[in-house]
Amino acid sequence: MSAPVLSIQGMSHYFGGLKAVSDFNFEVPEGVIYGLIGPNGSGKTTTFNLITGIYTPTQGKILFQGEDIVGQKPFRIVHKGIARTFQNLRIFGNLTAVDNIRVARHFTTKSGVFSSFLRLPSFLKEQEEVRDEAMELIKLMNLEHRAMDMAKNLPYGELRRLEIARALATRPKLILLDEPAAGMNPKETEDLMKLVLRVRDEFKVTVFLIEHHMKFVTGICERVKVIDFGETIAEGKPEDVVKDTKVLEAYLGRKAVVC
Amino acid sequence: MDKFKLPRLAIAGAIFYAVVQLLILTGVLNGYFVVIINRSMIFVILAATLNLINGITGQFSLGHMGFAAVGAYVSGTITTLVFKLSPHVFGDNLIFVGAILLGACAAGVVGFLIGFPSLRLKGDYLAIVTLGFGEIIRTILNNIAYVGGPRGLLGIPKFSNFTVIFLFTFFTIVLLRNLVQSSHGRAMLSIRENELASELAGVDTTKYKVLGFVVGAFFAGIAGGLLAHLLQIAHPTQYGFYASSILLIMVYAGGMGSLTGSILAAFSLTFLTEGLRVGIDWLRDSVGIPIGTEWTMVIYALLLIFVMLFKTEGFMGMRESKILIIEEKHV
């Protein structure tokens, strides 16, 4: 494992008096699949919102490839190379599947508004490149038959894949997946695990994911961090973490451990 | 492959122009109808640009006529002044087009300023700010003696004719279509669909919201200039909330986000207004029912309620006519 792509130092966040995230310190090494788990309300999605700039942490630093990104606007953080998906899908419903992906490729294009008015050759060439890349991502996600369908008409599992494709279209170095397997059946979950591994290898991205399915986490994550009420309670390899007493307490309650 | 061809739209535009021109020359359409057609085309520009702000970028502007007022007054003042000083010195139409574009630029600058509140405000709050803006423009114009105050700006030379208005309208639609069906346009659409997801797909949402206002205001300024040079007067009441709300009805009835819908709605509602005027006059004079033309607004309000209840997405929904869709290879 090489240098950390993401390094979080002393990050805390409060909502009024409520402590959502308390003094987080961790590093996500480049190229790994890193899992963040914890019971409901433990601060997982808040952590993602802090990294992507939707919230600004009350304290602490977030270093992405050595650069502090605290206080930057979300879209700038995306430009630097962090993409994400959402727990409850946020798809552009009235755009076609391929257009959903094209939106995410937009910021890498250079043509200005004027060249789009006049449809200059350089603009058209760039638009073609964007379209071809979007179609490649569509194919990778097995959504070819859906490319020209309105996204709102796609079934749930396909929307999950479309959202991952949209995140990949921003050409990220780090991709945050917020409960990618939520609402999926065992077969779909298994396919998704393969897909995540493939995405990591083919796109050379680091994957940082939140998940409740323990099978999913133990199956593909190389490192896991367990949090509860904004506090870190364990960190390490998944097979070690699941045996940790504190983790079992957090998930199953104190009595279960005694038994 | 010829990348510059705009086949369907160019053909449709040419046919429309030829048919109307033929009907004018053969005397089938009298001057009255020509004025209505000209007004319809100006409203096409206004409705389509409001659609860019409300329907495509998903913001909510209630003061769109304010932008048109800026364009009308700026271009009207310039042409009036030039022709007072030295009539027929330059190529007339050159001055006219220059004045229209200057008026449009002024409107674009105002649009840029109005775009800023939209960065912090959403939905109803933004609607109230833009409503206030429209009224501020109207009140300012009412109080500047130089442009005639409440009397209006009079004696604007008549430059707008069917050909001029058609050309401006046609190119506005072409440019708006090109914008909407580009990656910039998709960025604007994504803001309407889900602003947070748009931001996290790397779209500079701030920039594109302001861009929507600037482009919308610029072309609305052109429409205002054309209207002033058609009616030869620019009057503050023309650009008040009443007119802005008619534009809003056009956008909603035509379909939020559909340029086709805005074009159809602008034509049908402009003709409907005239039809109602004739109908109401007939009811009053021949039948003896004591009603005035202000009843057209009642009909409009009913129409809006009808659309909201039974056809929420408007006549076209978000669809575009094939004529307005840019063809793409193998997608």
Give the tens place of pLDDT for each residue, B163-176.
999 999 999 999 99
- What pLDDT, on the 0 to 100 scale, is given for residue B331? 47
The residues, ordered by sequence, that sit 6+ positions from A154 with a Cβ below 8 Å of its Cβ are: A91, A97, A143, A146, A162
Residue reference for tokens 């309300």: A41
Q: Is the pLDDT of residue A254 over 80?
A: no
Mutation site, A117, A138, A160, A174, interface B, largest B CB count within 10 A: A117
Q: Do B183 and A106 touch (CB under 8 A)?
A: yes
Q: Do B187 and A54 touch (CB under 8 A)?
A: no
The mean pLDDT of chain A is: 89
Residues of A in contact with B194 (CB under 8 A): 90-92
What global pTM score does this model have? 0.90
- What pLDDT, on the 0 to 100 scale, is given for residue B301? 85
**DSSP-derived 3-state class of residue B89:** coil
The answer to whether A31 and A2 have CB atoms below 8 angstroms apart is yes
Confidence of residue B323 (pLDDT cuts 50, 70, 90): confident
Is pLDDT larger for residue B2 or for residue B34?
B34
| Euclidean distance between CA atoms B19 and B16, whole angstroms | 5
Q: Do B202 and A170 touch (CB under 8 A)?
A: yes
Count the helices and strands in chain A (H runs, E runs).
Answer: 11, 10
By the 10 Å C-beta count (0-12 exposed, 13-18 middle, 19+ buried), B65 is classed as buried
By the 10 Å C-beta count (0-12 exposed, 13-18 middle, 19+ buried), B121 is classed as middle
In this predicted complex, what is the ipTM? Answer: 0.89
Confidence of residue B299 (pLDDT cuts 50, 70, 90): confident
Lowest mean pLDDT, pick from A87-91, B17-21, B96-100, B155-159: B155-159
- Per-residue burial over A161-187, b = 16 or more CB atoms within 10 Å of its CB, e = otherwise: bbbbbbbbbbbbbbbbbbbbbbebeee
- What pLDDT, on the 0 to 100 scale, is given for residue B1? 38
Neighbours of A29 (CB within 10 A): 16
* Over residues A223-236, mean pLDDT: 88
Distances (CA, A) of B143 to B139, B153, B236: 6, 12, 10
| Closest partner CB to B198 (pick from A54, A103, A124) | A103
**Beta strand A67-68 with B153-154: parallel, antiparallel or unpaired?**
unpaired
Lowest mean pLDDT, pick from A230-239, B57-66, B241-250, B292-301: B292-301
Confidence of residue B259 (pLDDT cuts 50, 70, 90): very high
Confidence of residue A245 (pLDDT cuts 50, 70, 90): confident
Residues of A in contact with B328 (CB under 8 A): 131
Is pLDDT larger for residue B4 or for residue B217?
B217
Confidence of residue B304 (pLDDT cuts 50, 70, 90): confident
- What pLDDT, on the 0 to 100 scale, is given for residue A170? 94
What tokens were used for B312?
A: 């929420």
Q: Do A75 and B204 touch (CB under 8 A)?
A: yes
Q: Is the pLDDT of residue A70 over 90?
A: yes
The residues, ordered by sequence, that sit 6+ positions from B78 with a Cβ below 8 Å of its Cβ are: B95, B98, B99, B102, B103
- What pLDDT, on the 0 to 100 scale, is given for residue A242? 81
Angle of helix B31-51 relative to helix B205-231, nearest 10 degrees, comes to 170
| Closest partner CB to B186 (pick from A78, A86, A106) | A106
| Euclidean distance between CA atoms A100 and B257, whole angstroms | 17
